[in-house]
Structure 1
Amino acid sequence: MRIGIVGSGISGLVCARLLNRGNDISVFEAGSYIGGHTHTIDVQEETGTRAVDTGFIIFNEKTYPNLVEIFDRLGVKSRESNMSFSVFNSDSGFEYNATDLKGLLARPSNLLRKRFWNMIRGILRFYKMAPDLLRTLDADVTLGTWLDENRFPKAFIDDHLIPMASAVWSTPLDQIRDYPLLSLIRFFDNHGFLQLSDRPVWRTVVGGSSAYIDPMTAPFRDKIRLNCPVQSINRSGAEVILTTASGEEHTFDRVILACHGDQALRLLGDSTEKETEILSCFRFSTNPTTLHHDSRWLPSAPNARAAWNVRTSDNKQDIQVNYWMNSLQGFNDAPVDYVVTLNDQCVGTDVQIDPDCIIEKMVYEHPLFSNSAISAQNRHHEIDGIAGVHFCGAYWANGFHEDGVNSALRVAKKFNRNLEEFSHGI
């Protein structure tokens, strides 16, 4: 069977790996590298090269079982990491690290702030209520509506829950309020965010997340076309015609759109009414991302510094997240602080990243979740495989690497692939 795969992110690669044997596959990638959000930058230091991640960074064995299965089969090694989290408000100067008491009191003046105590009261109340909400909450209730109706302290909303949720899903502050609360709490519960003990151990790939790309693609590397954006997908009888931006036409029996939902819809020149209805529910945010070593973008108070550092302001529309890669990837011997900053221009500040410290700039897109998007996820079966076109990607679930793997497995199963070893979430 002739199979075209659009996109070389985790979903496209898993499809290609599973379907390569016994089929004639071709993978089309618009960008210059394989991996999508798996994007490791090799940084030159005096003593050698250091692999620094910028997109996919961490996973855990509890909630990423199929990804772990793939890593084990490929011989990919990992090490322990962490998910420590801090918030800094550039207007008020309020700052804390949620990991422990030292972090909460990173600035001792927090003890004298009413804002701090209001936040703590909100935290205790929310995490006490959350387990019951898993059983009683209506699926359509949004985070913002529920917080307003239950009169939670503004400090808890603005300085804790909204920044945390926004950072997890790389979603603008004003849009994360539209996230269905039940889905959010389920995610928090599955990932151990609602408990103080028995939390998953977070891990990072040794040598950078891109270390899995070579062993993953070894059987089909010559079938991947880089810098080859697709212009359109059209169905003609029992065949699917894929046209590249350069005008080349390729004919396939099946095409798998392993790209974002909005991209898939744009590519479909003959989309059905149902495909348009479902795919138009998926929206994505654009996040400018910079890898640099300007340590001014990390919290100044030592005990406030965390793996994930959120910077916000009172007049906010978006958040800025500064990932401290030394902590996440265990760079204890690094000569500088490596930082990955999302949305460096979004928070009102006159401080710019020192141009001499900038290593690389990228742009990533992340799914925005709403009630309509969640409803659309449940309708995947209505459009997948119709007239030879399949759809997969992490946006069909929570937007993370495991979701991308599971989405690919679901599609591969329709090609009669035996997936017994991947029994989780399929």
Structure 2
Amino acid sequence: MSQAAGIPAGRRVAVIGSGVAGLTAAYVLKGQDRVTLFEADARLGGHAHTHDVPQQNGPTLGVDTGFIVHNERTYPTLLRLFAELGVKTQDSEMSMSVRCDGCGLEYAGARPNGSGIIPRPSTLLRGRYLRMLLEVTRFHRRARALLAEPAAGPDTVSGTGTGTGTELTLGEFLAREKFSSYFISHFMTPVVSAVWSCDPTTALAYPARYLFTFLGHHGLLGVKGSPQWRTVTGGSRSYVDKVAATLPDIRLASPVTAVHRHDDGVDITSALGAGTVRETFDAVVIATHPAQALRMLTDASAAERDALGGMPYSVNQTIFHRDEAVLPASPNAQTSWNYRLPSCDARPDKVLVSYDMTRLQRLEPADGGRYIVSLGESELVDDAAVLDRMVYEHPQYTPESLQAQQRILGLGDERLAFAGAYHGWGFHEDGALSGLKAAARLGRDWDPVNIGTVNIGTASMDPVAVDPDLQPATLQPATVQPATVEAP
């Protein structure tokens, strides 16, 4: 890892938070500095959360319930980390279904031979659904047309300013273009809610240009063009463990309660048993959620309070289980991602989606059953089938929070930097990229000669062949190379 001129090697640097942002920052910084990694939880990884599931007469399965998928098109930073660590990955199956308990509709996309579009003969009798399919192609055209319009102002990410192109929310765009309520409830809000783990009302408040930019980058504004999705072989914990093996000073179950800057460095106060301990570091990366970062800062500036306090998060109750009743009834409509509507017109205050990890990770359970991760469906899952319960939080994107995001990107200096997936689209690549940029803020860059080879089983990605425009140093958070669809 290279160092900036005038910044000595061997500094004592604290990284607070061991999600992908903190892990990437620590990995880059440890090349020149003495890094201490603080984690409030008893495990590392944040949303990289793998559960060991013993199998009768077979090997234990590692099942992910947080970060699951990535791709080679829009994950350059994460792929480089995987390459250097020798992380093995494999193809994943990415498909999505919608099930409505109100009208009984079930359908799925990305199923073999289009079998999920008309999963059963009776689907052909659903006039509203058939008209909705025509609206999907019209939506793709109108979304691409919006992206071709001039932005409302110089800031195309936050949508601030004025100009010839009105910056609309998704709901305003759909109303302007006169899309049907059936299309909105049975196609549009399920897509956004499932991707960002947000409730339907919040989904409609997302800025349309921001959302369509994301969909366009991932080939989702048409019927073709999506990248091949991949998952970490054996579970995402494998990359977490490999990063951890390079860090000699890791403090688990050590929540940081205070961060205080002064002329001689930065004081970190953390829990130690029943008491606390205060240590002085030369520099610090705070790689937590923004509200958590703000609570730690004893001397937060007005700008920090304004920016870090402006990014809301959703709280998702998540269940790891084996109850297949949450999946669509028709086998042709059962997919990797399964979205559920309680009724045609309902806008529940939570997302209802189940991820079939058996498909996503290509698992082979000894008993032939399925491992499922469900968000918001606690009352629908048989308690006897529950393996674990978790709480995951996800950033929410509104015109106001995107403006806060832009202010957050301007925070930090050579002794304190912020990192987190909230710097971008909220996904794993955004976290990794923000960690890389936090290290750069502290004067440490990723040496380009250290790129290895990504082990993808049947083939390898030659790093020399990677488009130089995708190298991490050239990327800008939230505006170039967004992260991708991942769960939950």
Q: TM-score range by the shorter chain?
A: over 0.9
Q: 1:84 aligns with which of 73, 87, 95?
A: 95
Q: Per-residue deviation at 1:334? A: 4.6
**Is structure 2 residue 314 aligned with structure 1 residue 285?**
yes
**Is structure 2 residue 48 aligned with structure 1 residue 21?**
no
Q: Which residue of 1 aligns with 2:454?
A: none
Q: Which residue of 1 aligns with 2:156?
A: none
Instruction: Read off the aligned partner of 1:144 and give its amino acid letter.
Output: G
Between 1:179-188 and 1:105-114, the stretch displaced more is 105-114
Query: Do the aligned residues in 1 keep the contact of 2:304 with 2:408 (CA within 8 Å)?
Result: no
**Distance between the aligned counterparts of 1:107 and 1:276, measured in 2?**
54
**Distance between the aligned counterparts of 1:415 and 1:243, measured in 2?**
21
Q: 2:304 aligns with which of 268, 271, 275?
A: 275
Q: Per-residue deviation at 1:65? A: 1.3
Instruction: Read off the aligned partner of 1:382 and give its amino acid letter.
Output: G
Q: 1:123 aligns with which of 136, 145, 166?
A: 136
Between 1:287-296 and 1:189-198, the stretch displaced more is 189-198
Q: 1:343 aligns with which of 376, 379, 400?
A: 376
Query: Do the aligned residues in 2 keep the contact of 1:66 with 1:424 (CA within 8 Å)?
Result: no
Q: Which residue of 2 aligns with 1:348?
A: none
Q: Which residue of 1 aligns with 2:267?
A: 241
Query: Do the aligned residues in 1 keep the contact of 2:412 with 2:441 (CA within 8 Å)?
Result: no
Q: Per-residue deviation at 1:333? A: 5.0
Instruction: Read off the aligned partner of 1:189 and give its amino acid letter.
Output: G
Instruction: Trace 1:341-420 onto structure 2 (pairs within 5 A).
Output: 341-345=374-378, 352-385=380-413, 388-419=415-446
Unpaired runs of 5+ residues, structure 1, are: 346-350
**Distance between the aligned counterparts of 1:402 and 1:357, measured in 2?**
33
Instruction: Read off the aligned partner of 1:377 and give its amino acid letter.
Output: Q
User: Structure 1 358/425 Cα, relative in aligned 2: closer, same or farther at 3 Å?
Assistant: same
Unpaired runs of 5+ residues, structure 2, are: 1-10, 153-158, 160-166, 449-471, 477-488
**Distance between the aligned counterparts of 1:396 and 1:304, measured in 2?**
35
Q: Which residue of 2 aligns with 1:323?
A: 355
- Which SS does the other structure have where 1:250 is aligned? strand
**Is structure 2 residue 231 aligned with structure 1 residue 231?**
no
- Which SS does the other structure have where 1:383 is aligned? coil
Q: Per-residue deviation at 1:5? A: 1.0
Instruction: Read off the aligned partner of 2:293 and give its amino acid letter.
Output: A
Query: What do the CA deviations read for 1:20-46 (whole angstroms, capped 9, x no partner)?
Result: 133222111111111000000010110
- Which SS does the other structure have where 2:260 is aligned? strand
**Distance between the aligned counterparts of 1:234 and 1:144, measured in 2?**
43
- Which SS does the other structure have where 2:320 is aligned? strand
Instruction: Read off the aligned partner of 1:32 and give its amino acid letter.
Output: A
Instruction: Read off the aligned partner of 2:15 and give its amino acid letter.
Output: I
Q: 1:296 aligns with which of 325, 329, 338?
A: 325
Q: 1:114 aligns with which of 109, 127, 130?
A: 127
Query: Do the aligned residues in 2 keep the contact of 1:96 with 1:107 (CA within 8 Å)?
Result: no
- Which SS does the other structure have where 2:276 is aligned? coil
**Distance between the aligned counterparts of 1:82 and 1:134, measured in 2?**
29
Query: Do the aligned residues in 2 keep the contact of 1:174 with 1:318 (CA within 8 Å)?
Result: no
**Distance between the aligned counterparts of 2:32 and 2:226, measured in 1?**
42
Query: What do the CA deviations read for 1:244-298 (whole angstroms, capped 9, x no partner)?
Result: 2432112112221100111111111221000011111111011111111111111
Query: Do the aligned residues in 2 keep the contact of 1:8 with 1:258 (CA within 8 Å)?
Result: yes
- Which SS does the other structure have where 1:322 is aligned? strand
Query: Do the aligned residues in 1 keep the contact of 2:218 with 2:225 (CA within 8 Å)?
Result: no
Between 1:132-141 and 1:391-400, the stretch displaced more is 132-141
Give the number of equivalent residue pairs: 419
**Distance between the aligned counterparts of 1:389 and 1:73, measured in 2?**
26
- Which SS does the other structure have where 2:381 is aligned? coil
Instruction: Read off the aligned partner of 1:149 and give its amino acid letter.
Output: R
Query: What do the CA deviations read for 1:321-357 (whole angstroms, capped 9, x no partner)?
Result: 1000111011245521110111124xxxxx6422222
**Distance between the aligned counterparts of 1:384 and 1:142, measured in 2?**
30
- Which SS does the other structure have where 2:116 is aligned? helix
**Is structure 2 residue 202 aligned with structure 1 residue 175?**
yes
Instruction: Read off the aligned partner of 2:266 and give its amino acid letter.
Output: V
**Is structure 2 residue 183 aligned with structure 1 residue 156?**
yes
Instruction: Read off the aligned partner of 2:71 and give its amino acid letter.
Output: N
**Distance between the aligned counterparts of 1:405 and 1:119, measured in 2?**
38
**Distance between the aligned counterparts of 2:332 and 2:444, measured in 1?**
50
Instruction: Read off the aligned partner of 2:353 and give its amino acid letter.
Output: V
**Distance between the aligned counterparts of 2:63 and 2:232, measured in 1?**
11
**Distance between the aligned counterparts of 1:168 and 1:59, measured in 2?**
13
Instruction: Trace 1:11-50 onto structure 2 (pairs within 5 A).
Output: 11-46=21-56, 47-50=58-61
**Is structure 2 residue 239 aligned with structure 1 residue 206?**
no
Q: 2:105 aligns with which of 94, 98, 106?
A: 94
Query: What do the CA deviations read for 1:108-128 (whole angstroms, capped 9, x no partner)?
Result: 322222320232122111012
- Which SS does the other structure have where 1:285 is aligned? strand
- Which SS does the other structure have where 2:445 is aligned? coil
**Is structure 2 residue 29 aligned with structure 1 residue 3?**
no
Query: Do the aligned residues in 1 keep the contact of 2:337 with 2:353 (CA within 8 Å)?
Result: yes
Instruction: Read off the aligned partner of 2:203 and give its amino acid letter.
Output: I
Q: 1:105 aligns with which of 112, 115, 118?
A: 118
Between 1:401-410 and 1:411-420, the stretch displaced more is 411-420
Query: What do the CA deviations read for 1:295-327 (whole angstroms, capped 9, x no partner)?
Result: 111111100001000112233222211000111
RCO higher in 1 or 2 (8 Å CA, sep ≥ 6)? 2
* TM-score, normalised by the number of residues in structure 1: 0.94
CA-based RMSD = 1.7
- Which SS does the other structure have where 1:288 is aligned? strand
- Which SS does the other structure have where 1:289 is aligned? strand
Sequence identity percentage? 38
Query: Do the aligned residues in 2 keep the contact of 1:291 with 1:339 (CA within 8 Å)?
Result: yes
**Distance between the aligned counterparts of 1:288 and 1:239, measured in 2?**
39
Instruction: Read off the aligned partner of 1:288 and give its amino acid letter.
Output: Q
Query: Do the aligned residues in 1 keep the contact of 2:326 with 2:380 (CA within 8 Å)?
Result: no
Instruction: Read off the aligned partner of 2:44 and give its amino acid letter.
Output: I
Between 1:196-205 and 1:269-278, the stretch displaced more is 196-205
Query: What do the CA deviations read for 1:201-257 (whole angstroms, capped 9, x no partner)?
Result: 00011111111112212121x311111111121222342121124321121122211
